[in-house]
Amino acid sequence: MSLSLSSKAREAAAAVAEQLDTILLRDPSIRSRSEAILHPCVVAVFGHGVAHRLYRRGMYKTARALSLVTRLASGAIEIHPGARIGRRFFVDHGCGVVIGETAVIGDDVTLFHQVTLGSRGWWNDAERAPGTRRHPELRDGVTVGANATILGPIVIGEQSKVGAHSLVLDDVPPHSVVHAPLAAVIEIGAERLRLAGSAQGACAAPPAANGAGR
C-alpha cells in the first residue's frame, strides 16, 4: 500500500512539474515555476482532471459542481467534465474559453482566450445517434488563436494552426493554417480627413438668404 501511495505521489508530482514547465515554455511573461503556479491554466487543468474522473464514475452532479468552482477560480475557463484532454495542454490568458462535453484534445495543444470548442446547436444534436461526438477533436500540437470558434464533430489535424477570429465548420488537414479575413484599411490618411470634412460641410445648416426667416 505504501509503495502504491508513493508511486502515485511521484506521478502526481511529475504531472505538476510537467504542467508548470509547459507554462514556462509557452508564456514568456512567466519566469519561474513558482510564478507559473499562479497561472489560471493550472487551476483549469488540474480541476478538470479531478472533475473528469468523477464524470467517468457517473458522479455527474459532483463533477459539474467542481467544474463550476474551477471555472470561477480560473477566470472563466469553462471545460465540461466530459471533455478528454491530453498532456501539456495550455490555455493562455484563459478568459472566456469554452470546451464542450464530447470535445477531444490531444497532447501539446494551445488555446488562447475566448476560444470556443462547441457543437452546431441542440437542434442538430437532437438528430445525432446517442453517444456520438458533438464537439471538435483537436489533435496533437494544434494551436488556436484568440476568439476562434470551432463547431461540430470535426477534426483539426495535428500541428495545425487556427488563426484568431476564425470560424471553422469543416475538417482541417494536418499541418495546415486557417485564418479569418484580415482587417483592411478603407480610408487612408488625408483622404479620410477630406471625406470627413466634406460630410460635415454637407450637414451644416445653410445661411439665411435675403433676411428670410427673420
**Number of folded domains that form the chain:** 1
Question: Which pLDDT does position 191 carry in this prediction?
Answer: 66
Give the pTM: 0.83
In this predicted model, what pLDDT tens digit does every residue of 27-86 receive, in sequence order? 999 999 999 999 999 999 999 999 999 999 999 999 999 999 999 999 999 999 999 999
Indicate whether 36 belongs to any domain.
no
Give the C-alpha separation, 45 to 145, whole Å: 19
Question: Which pLDDT does position 127 carry in this prediction?
Answer: 86
How would you label 172-208 residue by residue, b for 16+ Cβ within 10 Å and e otherwise?
A: beeeeebebeeeeeeeeeeeeeeeeeeeeeeeeeeee
- The residue range of the domain holding 118 is 83-202
Domain harbouring 181, CATH code: 2.160.10.10
Question: Which pLDDT does position 45 carry in this prediction?
Answer: 96
How would you label 36-57 residue by residue, b for 16+ Cβ within 10 Å and e otherwise?
A: beebbbbbbbebbbebbebbee
Q: Would you give per-residue pLDDT tens digits along the chain (214 residues)?
A: 555 767 888 888 999 999 999 999 999 999 999 999 999 999 999 999 999 999 999 999 999 999 999 999 999 999 999 999 999 999 998 899 999 999 999 999 999 999 999 999 989 888 888 889 999 999 999 999 999 999 999 999 999 999 999 999 999 999 999 999 888 887 776 666 666 666 665 555 444 444 434 3
Indicate whether 147 belongs to any domain.
yes
Indicate whether 98 belongs to any domain.
yes
Indicate whether 94 belongs to any domain.
yes
Indicate whether 124 belongs to any domain.
yes
Indicate whether 73 belongs to any domain.
no
